[in-house]
Amino acid sequence: MSDSHDKGPLLGRQVAGSEVYDAGLLFPVPRENARRELPGGDFPGFGEDIWQCYELSWLDAQGCPGIYMGLIGVPASSPNIIESKSLKLYLNSLNGHRFDNNDAALACITADLSAVAGATVSIELLAIDDRAFDGGLPAGHSLDTLDVLPAAAPDASLIVASGAESSLVYSHRLRSLCPVTAQPDWATVVIETRGAAAEAAGLMAYLLSFREHREFHEQCVERIYCDIQQRLAPEYLSVHALYTRRGGLAICPWRCSDPLAAPRYRLNRQ
Active site residues: 178, 185
Number of C-beta neighbours around residue 177 at 10 A: 17
Beta-sheet pairing, 80-82 with 28-30: antiparallel
Q: Alpha-carbon distance 144 to 169, whole Å?
A: 10
